[in-house]
Structure 1
Amino acid sequence: MSVSSRVSDAVDRATDEVVRLSRAIHAEPETAYQEHRAAARVSGLLAAQGFVVESGVGGLDTAFTARFGDGPLTVGLCAEYDALPGIGHACGHNIIAAASVGAALALREVAAALGITVLVIGTPAEEQGGGKIQLLRAGVFDEVSMAMLVHPAPDDVSAPRPLALLDLAVRFTGRESHSALAPHLGINAADALTVAEVAIGLGRQHFEPGQLAHGIVTNGGTVPNVVPADTGAQYNLRAPDMESLGRLRDRVLACFEGAAVATGTTHEVVAEPAYAELAHDPFLVSAYRAVAADLGRHLAPVEVERTMPTGSTDMGNVSRVVPSLHPSIAIDAGGAVNHQPEFAAACVGPSADRAVVHGALALARTAVAAATDDETRQRLIDHGSSRVTGPSTVEI
């Protein structure tokens, strides 16, 4: 029996188990760094299937690795499983985790024949916090020759282009006073927040192409008859690449500073590690396109993919260090898009289950293609042994 046939048979045998996994994760959504049940489900299933599991890797309680085989080409399959506050699995990370597990179970069957190590990496906090960035810094990806996952979306896209992202939290501090009796004795931190938001809004006209800023007020004061002395906001800044993101950061920080000066408040800014733009490995993209088409997936033309809107992911930081693949796989969401409640509802059901199975098979067959192409195989092995870590964050 050929390697491809063995992989397909293995996915068939694992279908019921990985679909149950996807649905179980979806039924109990957990947010960033709190994914204890999901991590236990994923790692427990792999342990039961003969993988060697190490929990709490990289200093993160809900991260793990699960290993099978000892070949020189290490295929890294990233399992995301965090949900969004309030709307659950509206980005379909249950599908990501289950598809990566399915691919791992399939590759387990041919690991010896291909001379590969199969490594599932449980990566928490993709939606906020950048779990993969912390795992990168801790060396969890050091041995990985190629890193992959498949992400649910409204469309099949072989090489989406997630943007670089920086998360900023700003706090303005003033002085309380009675809003009617002695407003002149107060320093209004809410005014500072208003000035900052207006400045950013006006500045959008002059943003560079592809730059975005979107934020929420996290604290606007307490009661209207007290001059607010403490306010805050959280902003996501996005740009096509890290360099453009750095310039946008400087513009927005100037808005915060100007608002503080204008209102007599003080301010402080806290930044999360920045997500880099995503860079796909051309061979892996080409192999995935061929497999997905063979499975009957309808992928957008390459020239259309380059113009399609997208979000951001900490997989971008991985892709700056490890040859990577992060395609989108379509589910029937009735016109809904990621991060909508309707999309969360669509991440269980026949279409979502099919995405799990097709995603597992597509990732596994893409890994087979890389492992059996002599030039690509050696390139990936050599890249891992001579890896130079690139910048992964924009520093504040």
Structure 2
Amino acid sequence: MNSEVDDAIASAKTDLIALSHSIHADPELAFEEHRSAAKTAELLAQHGFEVESGVAGLPTAFSASFGSGELVIGICAEYDALPEIGHACGHNIIAASAVGAGLALAPLADRLGITVRVLGTPAEESGGGKVLMLERGVFDPLGAAMMVHPGPEDIAGATSLAMADLAVTFSGRESHASAAPELGRNAADAATVAQVGVGLLRQHLYAGQQLHGIVSDGGIAPNIVPAHVEMLYYLRARSVESLGNLSERVLACFAAGALAAGCTHEIRTVSPDYAELVPDPWMVQAYRELIEEMGRSPLAPMWEGLRPLGSTDMGNVTHVLPGIHPVIGLESGGAATHQPAFAAACVTASADLAVLDGARALAGTAVAVASDPAQRQRLLEGVERRRAGRQ
């Protein structure tokens, strides 16, 4: 069947690359990806997929289905961009490769006994679209879920870090910074003390724990004591459990800053917590063999755990059902994701090849898992266990 997969993707090559370039040229932020979602869903609809838009109450999410087989295979498309630097994470490639895999699997659906479901999942960069879709039942029928993410190298069993996405607001009291500073309560001082605490905490972090943040709102004018300051912070760790430990300590630093400056503070969760990726070993191996047959050289398994990919809401999905989130390599001239040079690399000939190879590898992995009787039964039994657990 893999020759049929190759033929289908070759036939759709022009449309897939055009979709990738179109999304790249028109970047949209989290939950605002109206044009990107529409382009992605429309290409699937043109090839006979039944598209439901606005699933899970999210206007830029969709579900596109083909076939009626008992085993439902999900392929996730992302299409949100980063502020100012656009598609520096290559979500245009993710969307196009997901569509390509869906188009390749559709003609095989009846023979494989599967339903192919391409899910448009918004707001991966901030907002946790997959977490919301997971909580609202969109992933319930799926036996497995998969997607492919671009990067500077190929990684079959890619891992990620758990993450908390927080905003902390310090509130004080305005006053004239020269004429009556004693009447003010400086929210910027609260932020400074909190950041000193966070900086000192770094030497006591467990392996894999990370902290990074910015001051998103630091005051109005130098001669006005700042009464409102906001900081945005990402907290990351190797596991959800380790993230809980880190969060407890960091929240104490925020509270200490407020106390020291005579201010109050509030903490807001910007996105749902992201869990770490737990890739399915059988599907990872199937994917690895496929890309090696294509002439790619993925990172050796022994090194995969040492190369976490930041954080992704796909991690939450892999805690509930079997899934993979491999990295498809492209030539980026040494640039890493979230750098402007990587955004530029995501519409090159190498990026276009990543779209096609990623689609072939995802579709081939789906063929492999659906064709293996033991694996097929494992996936179907997983759906039944989850269904029984909700009753």
TM-score if structure 1 supplies the norm length? 0.97
Letter in 2 for 1:29: P
Count, aligned residues: 388
Task: Report the CA distance between 1:76 and its aligned residue.
Answer: 0.1
1:124 corresponds, among 116, 122, 125, to: 122
The corresponding residue for 2:207 is: 209
The corresponding residue for 2:257 is: 259
182-191 or 304-313, larger mean C-alpha shift? 304-313
> d(CA) in 2 for partners of 1:220 and 1:125?
26
Change over 3 Å in CA distance of 1:309–1:281 after alignment to 2: closer
The corresponding residue for 2:348 is: 349
The corresponding residue for 2:357 is: 358
Task: Report the CA distance between 1:303 and its aligned residue.
Answer: 0.6
1:137 corresponds, among 128, 135, 138, to: 135
The corresponding residue for 2:374 is: 375
Say whether 1:194 aligns with 2:216.
no
> d(CA) in 2 for partners of 1:219 and 1:95?
33
Tell me the SS of whatever aligns to 2:272.
Answer: coil
The corresponding residue for 2:225 is: 227
2:236 corresponds, among 230, 234, 238, to: 238
Task: Report the CA distance between 1:305 and its aligned residue.
Answer: 1.5
Say whether 1:95 aligns with 2:93.
yes
> d(CA) in 1 for partners of 2:28 and 2:210?
28
2:183 corresponds, among 182, 185, 199, to: 185
Letter in 1 for 2:44: L
Query: RMSD in angstroms over aligned alpha carbons?
Result: 1.0
Conserved? CA contact 2:150–2:354, under 8 Å: yes
Say whether 1:104 aligns with 2:102.
yes
The corresponding residue for 1:286 is: 285
Runs of 4+ in 1 over 3 A off after TM superposition: none
> d(CA) in 2 for partners of 1:139 and 1:253?
32
Write the mapping of 1:305-324 to structure 2, written as runs, cut at 5 A. 305-324=304-323
> d(CA) in 1 for partners of 2:224 and 2:232?
23
The corresponding residue for 2:386 is: 387
> d(CA) in 1 for partners of 2:326 and 2:387?
25
> d(CA) in 1 for partners of 2:274 and 2:226?
33
> d(CA) in 2 for partners of 1:313 and 1:238?
11
Structure 2: runs of 5+ lacking an equivalent:
none
Task: Report the CA distance between 1:310 and its aligned residue.
Answer: 2.1
Task: Report the CA distance between 1:131 and its aligned residue.
Answer: 0.3
1:86 corresponds, among 84, 88, 92, to: 84
Task: Report the CA distance between 1:169 and its aligned residue.
Answer: 0.2
Task: Report the CA distance between 1:389 and its aligned residue.
Answer: 11
The corresponding residue for 1:328 is: 327
Say whether 1:115 aligns with 2:110.
no
The corresponding residue for 1:393 is: none
Task: Report the CA distance between 1:298 and its aligned residue.
Answer: 1.1
Task: Report the CA distance between 1:388 and its aligned residue.
Answer: 6.9
Conserved? CA contact 2:16–2:96, under 8 Å: yes
TM-score if structure 2 supplies the norm length? 0.98
Task: Report the CA distance between 1:309 and its aligned residue.
Answer: 3.9
Task: Report the CA distance between 1:304 and its aligned residue.
Answer: 1.5
Alignment identity in percent?
57
Conserved? CA contact 1:80–1:97, under 8 Å: yes
Tell me the SS of whatever aligns to 1:291.
Answer: helix
Change over 3 Å in CA distance of 1:389–1:221 after alignment to 2: farther
> d(CA) in 1 for partners of 2:173 and 2:78?
43
Tell me the SS of whatever aligns to 2:28.
Answer: coil
Conserved? CA contact 2:161–2:308, under 8 Å: no
Task: Report the CA distance between 1:139 and its aligned residue.
Answer: 0.4
Say whether 1:218 aligns with 2:216.
yes
The one-character-per-residue Cα deviations of 1:348-372 (angstroms, maximum 9, x if unpaired) are 0100000000000000000000011
The corresponding residue for 1:159 is: 157
Conserved? CA contact 2:209–2:246, under 8 Å: yes
Tell me the SS of whatever aligns to 2:274.
Answer: coil
Tell me the SS of whatever aligns to 2:7.
Answer: helix
Conserved? CA contact 1:321–1:389, under 8 Å: no
Tell me the SS of whatever aligns to 1:274.
Answer: strand
Conserved? CA contact 1:96–1:152, under 8 Å: yes
Conserved? CA contact 1:321–1:388, under 8 Å: no
Tell me the SS of whatever aligns to 1:38.
Answer: helix
Task: Report the CA distance between 1:385 and its aligned residue.
Answer: 1.6
The corresponding residue for 1:300 is: 299
Task: Report the CA distance between 1:282 and its aligned residue.
Answer: 0.7
1:47 corresponds, among 37, 45, 48, to: 45
> d(CA) in 2 for partners of 1:301 and 1:101?
28
The one-character-per-residue Cα deviations of 1:201-230 (angstroms, maximum 9, x if unpaired) are 110000111100000001111101111111
Conserved? CA contact 2:172–2:226, under 8 Å: yes
